[in-house]
Amino acid sequence: MDAESYKILEADMEGKGVSVQSNPMELPEAEAKAVFDQLVNEVVVPKFNKMVDALGAIDLTSDAAKPVSSATQAALDLKVDKEKKTGSTTENKVLSDNNYSDGEQQKVAAAELARHIHGNKAVLDEITEKDLTDWRGGNVLTKDNTIPYEPTGQYNPATVGYVNQKVVDIGAADMTKAVYDPNGKARDIFKYADDTRIMLDESTGKKYILGVNETGLYYREVN
């Protein structure tokens, strides 16, 4: 609506009305009336009626009752409704708090909790960053270990290769089974030594043990 076009200007009243007549009162009654009504009939009424017609074309429906366009409705559907801050009845959430509702936040928390529920959760929860570093760095011995490892503390684990070499280095290998029982007989060495000293007198069938003591050689009959 162009409001300027409905204004009554000086140009609209020029040459009209009583002021331009020499003596309107001397005119016949009908002509005199027309002179007095000229401004209203020819200027005010047309402008007024034109404005009324323009106002009639305006939609005076209240904003609350007006429908919205499809594009506007689509944009509104994407809007996130304001939500009160947790524990507050007056303050609304802002993006710095979180950009989703408490309900969605609870769903995410539940999903995260479910992801960490497993049979050995208690064990896995005790694993520290140092544990992971030690494992990745090889600071552990496994059953199939193939890397040389030398313990540095009294209670550090040792590999079989390390122990075997240590036994050889200290000379303890002289007392190993490989030296004194290479054939795997697993005999009582003391009984075996005694048995080898027993002699048989074939003429009498008696058995004697031969030995040495502080007085020299001796023999003794045994059963």
User: How confident is the model at residue 71, as a pLDDT?
Assistant: 92
Token pair of 213, please?
Answer: 């003591």
User: How confident is the model at residue 56, as a pLDDT?
Assistant: 82
Helix and strand element counts for the chain (H, E): 10, 3
Least trusted range by pLDDT, from 42-46, 115-119, 204-208:
115-119
Does residue 42 or residue 19 have the better pLDDT? 42
Q: How confident is the model at residue 174 (pLDDT cuts 50, 70, 90)?
A: low
User: How confident is the model at residue 194, as a pLDDT?
Assistant: 65
Q: How confident is the model at residue 203 (pLDDT cuts 50, 70, 90)?
A: very high
- As a whole number of angstroms, the distance between CA 23 and CA 32 comes to 9
Give the closest residue to 213 by CA, choosing from 195, 190, 197.
197
Q: Write out pLDDT tens, residues 90-101.
A: 888 766 555 567
Q: Write out pLDDT tens, residues 50-91.
A: 888 888 888 878 888 888 889 998 888 888 777 788 788 888
Q: Write out pLDDT tens, residues 129-168.
A: 888 887 776 677 888 888 888 888 888 888 888 888 888 7
User: How confident is the model at residue 116, as a pLDDT?
Assistant: 61
Side-chain half-sphere CA neighbours of 182 within 13 A: 2
Residue 13: pLDDT over 60: yes
- As a whole number of angstroms, the distance between CA 173 and CA 182 comes to 13
Q: Write out pLDDT tens, residues 178-202.
A: 777 778 777 777 676 666 678 888 8
DSSP reduced 3-state for 54: helix
The phi and psi torsions of 208 (rounded to 5 degrees) equal -130, 150
Mean per-residue pLDDT of the chain: 79
